[in-house]
Structure 1
């Protein structure tokens, strides 16, 4: 396939402009003029290299598409990345041609601009050369290399890539314009947040420093680029969790309720870890479902129930008045993304609300356990157990369960697919459809053209991706089992305390459990074994319409606990118990832990997730010094091969792409969606092609101009909102099959 004429014309035009500007500034003896001239010479050389490489790649890129109607793969993506860079550079050179004749000519500014764009194009050319190597390593139509070729070998054979060029003046150049502004804001916030994260100052000073430095990083793109590259290459997973968990803060907790669609039902429930059986599809014999217990033993699974309208049988609707609809025939189970280490149903509520309204179907969003406290397979166990619990108790969610659709994005879609494969292996009812958004189907170090995009991705950079992967797949990074269980419990309790209504809380003592059971029996409830965790306080029963988040009863109780048992005069802010407490029950011990946790959070103003992770303490002194020195011009670059210092098991439930053809043939209808600049694009293309070969009903959509994780940005970008509407359309198709 020949290169499009307009594509060749862009490169030729850019070459001509470079030569014209070189001639104009050839006699300029100023420092800015010499710098400008040097950058123009390098740019002209890089344009020739890029033109040749892109022309070569475009000649064969179509061979790797899903089909002729869905053009998309990593080769195409990099060709479009290069074209976007050329277009952006053309704009700058055209402005330069007009500005250089003006009386007020910002020569130094243009020198920095041209230098940034020249470096950007040079870095892209280095990436394009990686693609040529991958092309030689792979079979026709295969985006993953065959044989013994590894990511280590690729990085060792290829040229080094200057990542600074992707996070400075040209940050987000490959995306649509509305998304560029958002990505610049997020990256600036990340750089500013790192100031407070690695600082040893108190909270007030940290906050002031964060704001001031954030302004600096917005004004000075070069400083932002250095800061981000240092963070991405050297900060541990604790920083990733801390930054991503900003979406769980008090202000962001209110955001979905203010700008999102209105819901009548938005409840947090807890699914108790109790024995569960599901009938085998062929023999009809009961199949025992294992309670999630990896790493820290059985614990309740938290989930969020969202629905446009109240429906008969829903948890929390017993005894309530007003119009209640009949159960829906369909039910959607949602698993959120977040790299297996961060985020929750609350942070993804911004788009799930719209889905619940547009689809008019109850949605159960699972808050599975997060790494590194809960590495593989804990999250998968919880998603699978929740699905099986739904099969037996869908009436409690306002649905008949006639059609059950699993939806998810990124890590969540990976877990959904793993749970579906477990259903197939055990011979129990599988979901009626799968909607999968930008999913990592192959959790491995296998390189591909699209995966190289993570070297320039603002939301999914290479270093963050590798640290999240290591936390999820490598048990050696998980903390002590007992500490992990305690930390996980505290996090769940604290997160639940921020919600307006928690309809299912794990009882701390048997008497609380008995009291709930008695109250349910008084209300005429039958299935007490499944409902003994449901809180039926009168204010919860009648408060069915969603209200703005306020301080919950559970949080008030914990605050009173801290106030009662903390000596505010203690010089080191330690927890001091009153002398009257000589013995503590198991419930008191748990509450004591919660009190300690809240005290630390109160005194240091840390979020629950950051404090549980202990990320600041776990960072090495060297990394802390590097990241804390915001004024330093030094960038500590790491060899990409240093990231591959751990083993990834070849488990089909972790990497569905490795599942046997026999299992994959039995998958239900699958709708896959990805974006053009997504590091997971090739995963989606290859998995869809594999299902198509096995004659599994499958479709693939590739959206242009949006980044990985765009669903969380639907309220700040029209293009992202349009992408969410396409998701709704595909889910409707699955519901109607």
Structure 2
């Protein structure tokens, strides 16, 4: 796409509006003139840089059938911002004489997109420097110093609030923008009450009332969003992301799909003898997780839409632990189905610092129904209390335990697939690598969604886009990875705050209410949900290549992950 017609149209409209509002003596008219002048100036600098970038983008494609890379994404984002500006300029041009024209509102939107275009121009300049400094065809700046350090400094000093206010999510499809705005309003409202020691109900109520202020003032929301993402520590993000663990939310969401088996398991730390994939007659010992806190049990959740053989056996029940007085058993007493040939082992996301299998339970139930396979979701220990390699040790131990006891989980173990998102995607890959290094059976497939694979703070075109990421900006990602690498610790005061957080308070405040509702509804929920079948996209499973080298050592894997994480 040739960007010149787009920028010519913007320039013509800006010039026309500058002439029109230049005759106005009002404050809003003066602001509109300044906003159009700023857009015109920035557009003159962006257009040639965009054409130069468009000329080299194809050189970085994986192949001719995959026209995608970080430079293309940056180009698309800049074009999207310019198209929004063009639409706004046209609207102002055609509506400025109307009695219903809201000059102040349209001026604020124009100023916001003008600020966004200014920041995008700076990113284009940095992308050009990256193109010059890198080796031919290389997307990443391989050195730890130089441009990578400069990128981090520039990231911390650039104004990012404009991307979290009126412009939030402009680069995405319009249908997702209300969701992103809701998340941002909830985040800044929650930040107002962070580390306050009121009861859970009062915190929730005050956050609700505060949210109205951020809904009607996008500039304030953007400024506070930037402040929170830059300054608050990892414990804030643990508290915010763990809202999905609230008993009230999980109860409401859990109504959608019911499953026959939903058990929490606690596997004691015992030595496992696993057969070698090259020679099943030989075995290799698998030690329980010991990093940082010594041997300890590994917690898991077994979810199965059907009751299958082994899932109610006495042997499995020895590993079962109660979830508490609020747990509800919707198990329908029926005849056991035969073992499934499949087993899915799931590692949840959460930046290595937050969430459990409980927060991911709603879609796991749908997976269990649609795939007709039992799912074992691992509740690995979280950072910063349990940094690397504790989570990896627990996930690998859970994988080996599942291989050895798959018939207790309702599966023959014919096909075993690892699945995970974000941090869980990283754990899927590293568990497979560790299985290769030890010599035990590899998983038959891996399904990872946006996995964390490159842990260095390396300058790249994709990393430039984290400047405007509405869900996980680079500063937040860095805090999570620092906690996972063990460079960020939790103080005693933070533990006290976590104990009295809104999450735990709301749980206690709604416990009695939920108990009455759930006990009263238990008898009819089972019958009501028996015939319901919700559709869901489960993603695509990719086979693990047989060419994974079994000579990869555990020590090398651990060392490489530690080094990459500590580069932050």
Q: Normalised by the size of structure 1, how large is the TM-score?
A: 0.64
- CA 1:124 to 1:475, structure 2 compared with 1: closer, same or farther past 3 Å? closer
Query: Does the CA-based 8 Å contact 2:214-2:220 persist in structure 1?
Result: yes
Query: Does the CA-based 8 Å contact 1:356-1:363 persist in structure 2?
Result: yes
Residue 306 of structure 1 is matched in structure 2 by 303
Q: 1:178 aligns with which of 155, 160, 175?
A: 175
- CA 1:159 to 1:309, structure 2 compared with 1: closer, same or farther past 3 Å? closer
Query: Does the CA-based 8 Å contact 1:375-1:478 persist in structure 2?
Result: no
Cα shift readout 1:577-628 (whole Å, capped 9, x = no counterpart): xxxxxxxxxxxxxxxxxxxxxxxxxxxxxxxxxxxxxxxxxxxxxxxxxxxx
How is 1:56-205 mapped onto 2 (pairs within 5 angstroms)?
Answer: 56-147=52-143, 148-156=145-153, 160-199=157-196, 203=200, 205=202
Residue 514 of structure 2 is matched in structure 1 by none
Deviation for aligned residue 1:458: 1.4
Q: 1:247 aligns with which of 244, 249, 262?
A: 244
Cα shift readout 1:536-561 (whole Å, capped 9, x = no counterpart): xxx9xx99x9799xxxxxxxxxxxxx
Deviation for aligned residue 1:316: 5.8
Residue 416 of structure 1 is matched in structure 2 by 428
Residue 42 of structure 1 is matched in structure 2 by 38
Deviation for aligned residue 1:312: 1.1
Cα shift readout 1:514-550 (whole Å, capped 9, x = no counterpart): xxxxxxxxxxxxxxxxxxxxxxxxx9xx99x9799xx
Aligned length: 505
Deviation for aligned residue 1:354: 2.4
Secondary structure of the 1:730 match is coil
Residue 584 of structure 1 is matched in structure 2 by none
Residue 400 of structure 1 is matched in structure 2 by 412
Matched, 1:437 2:449: yes
Deviation for aligned residue 1:265: 2.2
- CA 1:729 to 1:222, structure 2 compared with 1: closer, same or farther past 3 Å? closer
Taking the aligned partners of 2:91 and 2:419, their CA distance within structure 1 comes to 46
Residue 461 of structure 1 is matched in structure 2 by 473
How is 1:274-313 mapped onto 2 (pairs within 5 angstroms)?
Answer: 274-283=270-279, 284-313=281-310
Secondary structure of the 1:371 match is coil
Cα shift readout 1:262-287 (whole Å, capped 9, x = no counterpart): 42222222222111111122343221
Q: Normalised by the size of structure 2, how large is the TM-score?
A: 0.82
Matched, 1:359 2:371: yes
Secondary structure of the 1:139 match is coil
Cα shift readout 1:389-439 (whole Å, capped 9, x = no counterpart): 011100011111111111111110101111111111111111111112111
- CA 1:55 to 1:158, structure 2 compared with 1: closer, same or farther past 3 Å? farther
- CA 1:103 to 1:321, structure 2 compared with 1: closer, same or farther past 3 Å? closer
Matched, 1:270 2:266: yes
Q: 1:341 aligns with which of 348, 353, 363?
A: 353
Taking the aligned partners of 1:450 and 1:86, their CA distance within structure 2 comes to 20
How is 1:483-502 mapped onto 2 (pairs within 5 angstroms)?
Answer: none
Residue 234 of structure 2 is matched in structure 1 by 237
Q: 1:384 aligns with which of 381, 393, 396?
A: 396
RMSD: 3.2
- CA 1:55 to 1:350, structure 2 compared with 1: closer, same or farther past 3 Å? farther
Residue 212 of structure 2 is matched in structure 1 by 215
Deviation for aligned residue 1:10: 2.2
Residue 730 of structure 1 is matched in structure 2 by 540
Query: Does the CA-based 8 Å contact 1:376-1:475 persist in structure 2?
Result: no
Cα shift readout 1:426-463 (whole Å, capped 9, x = no counterpart): 11111111112111212112121112222111110122
Taking the aligned partners of 1:226 and 1:358, their CA distance within structure 2 comes to 43
Query: Does the CA-based 8 Å contact 1:195-1:206 persist in structure 2?
Result: no
- CA 1:138 to 1:293, structure 2 compared with 1: closer, same or farther past 3 Å? same
Cα shift readout 1:16-67 (whole Å, capped 9, x = no counterpart): 2111111111222211111110110010111122222222222112222222
Residue 642 of structure 1 is matched in structure 2 by none
In structure 2, stretches of 5+ residues that fail to align are 318-331, 512-518, 529-533, 547-568
Taking the aligned partners of 2:433 and 2:116, their CA distance within structure 1 comes to 43
- CA 1:547 to 1:373, structure 2 compared with 1: closer, same or farther past 3 Å? farther
Query: Does the CA-based 8 Å contact 2:141-2:148 persist in structure 1?
Result: no
Taking the aligned partners of 1:206 and 1:154, their CA distance within structure 2 comes to 38
Taking the aligned partners of 2:215 and 2:412, their CA distance within structure 1 comes to 52
Taking the aligned partners of 2:526 and 2:47, their CA distance within structure 1 comes to 56
Taking the aligned partners of 1:51 and 1:258, their CA distance within structure 2 comes to 52
Query: Does the CA-based 8 Å contact 2:155-2:467 persist in structure 1?
Result: no
Cα shift readout 1:47-106 (whole Å, capped 9, x = no counterpart): 122222222222112222222222222111111111111121122112211221112432
- CA 1:67 to 1:308, structure 2 compared with 1: closer, same or farther past 3 Å? farther
Taking the aligned partners of 1:158 and 1:212, their CA distance within structure 2 comes to 33
Taking the aligned partners of 1:11 and 1:356, their CA distance within structure 2 comes to 51
Taking the aligned partners of 1:396 and 1:254, their CA distance within structure 2 comes to 27
Taking the aligned partners of 1:191 and 1:158, their CA distance within structure 2 comes to 21
Taking the aligned partners of 1:430 and 1:200, their CA distance within structure 2 comes to 48
Secondary structure of the 1:218 match is helix
Residue 426 of structure 1 is matched in structure 2 by 438
How is 1:494-643 mapped onto 2 (pairs within 5 angstroms)?
Answer: none
Secondary structure of the 2:118 match is helix
Deviation for aligned residue 1:478: 5.5
Residue 25 of structure 1 is matched in structure 2 by 21
- CA 1:315 to 1:60, structure 2 compared with 1: closer, same or farther past 3 Å? farther
Query: Does the CA-based 8 Å contact 2:18-2:33 persist in structure 1?
Result: yes
Secondary structure of the 2:227 match is helix
Cα shift readout 1:313-354 (whole Å, capped 9, x = no counterpart): 124699995232211111111111111001111212232222
- CA 1:337 to 1:204, structure 2 compared with 1: closer, same or farther past 3 Å? closer
Cα shift readout 1:279-316 (whole Å, capped 9, x = no counterpart): 12234322111211211122221112122222111246
